[in-house]
Structure 1
Amino acid sequence: MEKEVNTSLTQNIFRILLALFMVFAGISHLTFNRIDFQAQVPDWVPLSKDLVVILSGVVEIALGLILLFWKKQRVTIGWALAIFFILVFPGNVAQYLDGKDAFGALNSDTARLIRLLFQPVLIAWALSSSGAWRSWRNSKK
């Protein structure tokens, strides 16, 4: 059983913002940004691009809702979300390497490259706001 980790007000605000961002992103995968997200699915993935976008959208919604509401599992969800961000990173790299435009704003190599730099920020955000990083550090003492 996971030990509950106390988080600060700032961490909780950032956790809530991340959770809402994940739910919004997941909904956008299933609706108005569905085609744009397909541009991120690398050609080597052996599934239909649409299926990958739908599944990743469902996972994003689930992770966001769990991060928002399931207090006793926040550390685990923080790690799961960080791993999710790592797993989708090859899609962002493929989009950059293939020069695929998306979302209106990702229409140049520079914009797509800058976007790659934000993936570590999302990983750190998930680990910090959920208390996962602090829990891991405390376990090493």
Structure 2
Amino acid sequence: MNEKTAKKIARIFLGSSLIYAGISHLTFARKEFQAQVPDWVPLPKDDTVVYSGIAEVALGSSLVLTDREHQQTVGKIAAAFFTAVFPGNVSQYVNKRDAFGLDTDRKRFIRLFFQPVLVYWALKSTDNL
């Protein structure tokens, strides 16, 4: 498999994962996602979850459907989104909130290291790196 094909597969998989996560924000995992919303966010937790779910569906769809001309822009926006939601992961760890099977400090701490991977993935699969 050549690099171009690998990047396309990675981009489509990331986009599909974002679509799934966004749908889960809006439906069956809504309550669990509220555990990740930091207390300092000025919106109600459920509103924050709904808005981030809509953003994830839009970003995921853009990653899957974007043409070559706009891939880098969409990748940068996705990377910025992953960076923007990172405080939610930190909040879940600091406040010891269980969700998504992250029911120990160790699991919540390890989860923190996956966010930079998502940022890298968004950038690399869209030819930003």
Q: How many equivalent pairs are there?
A: 126
- CA-based RMSD of the aligned residues comes to 0.8
| Candidates 98, 112, 117, aligned match of 1:101 | 98
Task: Deviation per CA, 1:16-50: give whole Å up to 9, x if none.
Answer: 10000000000000001100000000001110000
Question: For structure 1, which runs of at least 5 residues remain unmatched after alignment?
Answer: 1-6, 134-141
Matched position secondary structure for 2:17: helix
Query: What is the Cα deviation at residue 131 of structure 1?
Result: 1.1
Query: What is the Cα deviation at residue 130 of structure 1?
Result: 1.0
Code of the aligned partner of 2:10? F
Per the alignment, residue 73 of structure 1 pairs with: 70
Q: So what's the TM-score if we normalise by structure 1?
A: 0.88
Matched position secondary structure for 2:85: helix
Query: What is the Cα deviation at residue 70 of structure 1?
Result: 1.5
Task: Deviation per CA, 1:30-74: give whole Å up to 9, x if none.
Answer: 001100000000001110000000000000000000111121211
Query: What is the Cα deviation at residue 108 of structure 1?
Result: 0.4
Query: What is the Cα deviation at residue 94 of structure 1?
Result: 0.5
Return the index of the structure with the highest Cα Rg.
1
Equivalents in 2 of 1:70, 1:16: separation in Å? 10
Question: For structure 2, which runs of at least 5 residues remain unmatched after alignment?
Answer: none
Per the alignment, residue 128 of structure 2 pairs with: 132
| Candidates 83, 86, 94, aligned match of 1:86 | 83
- Structure 1 runs of 4+ aligned residues shifted over 6 Å read none
Percent of residue pairs bearing the same amino acid type: 52
